């Protein structure tokens, strides 16, 4: 799931970056720009997911709080991408300065749909009985739950 999120984030970011916004001249490209931007996006998305603990959530029973967490993780990752991009010298930046901010809304929607797809798929099926999700840290609580 993480790899799919990184690829979606990177593709949207590259589409916004290459769109030619704000100037008539195309963005100069070097052969290492795509690889550098992919590494930056991977690092930023990994940091955002780890900070908000998206890897610990059960997405088939996701709620509105989980959707907000996905949005916050993408906003945080976009800020990290922008800050890392600013650390490059002026002529060697792999991304335009405004690309992360302009791509953030589309990335939030795409990753939100990707993450919440299990919830959307299960909510359309009819429930046959009462369901209860119980999460226990180890085997010691199993007898109590049973």
Q: What is the pLDDT of residues 57-101, one digit of tens each?
A: 666 566 677 777 888 888 898 999 999 988 888 777 888 888 888
Residue 137 has a pLDDT of 75
Sign of the Cα torsion 135, 141, 142, 145 reads negative
Q: How far apart are CA 110 and CA 66, in angstroms?
A: 15
Confidence class for position 15, pLDDT limits 50, 70, 90:
confident
Residue 118 tokens read as: 């299990």
B/e letters for 18-50, b = 16+ CB within 10 Å, e = fewer, are eeeeeeeeebeeeeebeebbbebbbebbbebbe
Mean pLDDT across 88-117: 84
Q: Across the chain, what does the average pLDDT equal?
A: 78
Residue 23 has a pLDDT of 65
Residue 79 has a pLDDT of 93
Mean pLDDT across 118-130: 64
User: Which ranges constitute the DSSP H helices of the chain?
Assistant: 2-17, 33-52, 64-87, 99-123, 142-145
Q: What is the pLDDT of residues 19-70, one digit of tens each?
A: 877 665 555 567 788 788 888 888 888 887 777 776 666 665 666 777 778 8
Which has the closest alpha carbon to 45: 6, 82, 16?
6
Task: Indicate the pTM of the whole model.
Answer: 0.69
Rounded to a whole number of angstroms, the CA Rg of the chain reads 19
């Amino acid at each position: 799931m993480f790899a799919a999120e990184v690829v979606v984030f990177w593709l949207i970011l590259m589409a916004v970056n290459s769109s030619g916004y704000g100037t008539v001249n195309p963005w100069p490209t070097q052969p290492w720009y795509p690889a550098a931007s992919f590494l930056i996006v991977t690092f930023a998305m990994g940091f955002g997911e780890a900070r908000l603990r998206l890897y610990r959530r059960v997405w088939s029973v996701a709620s509105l709080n989980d959707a907000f967490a996905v949005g916050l993780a993408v906003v945080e990752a976009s800020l990290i991408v922008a800050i890392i991009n600013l650390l490059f010298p002026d002529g060697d930046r792999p991304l335009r300065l405004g690309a992360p901010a302009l791509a953030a809304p589309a990335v939030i929607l795409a990753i939100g749909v990707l993450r919440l797809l299990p919830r959307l798929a299960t909510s359309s099926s009819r429930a046959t009985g009462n369901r209860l999700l119980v999460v226990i840290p180890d085997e010691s609580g199993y007898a109590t739950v049973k």
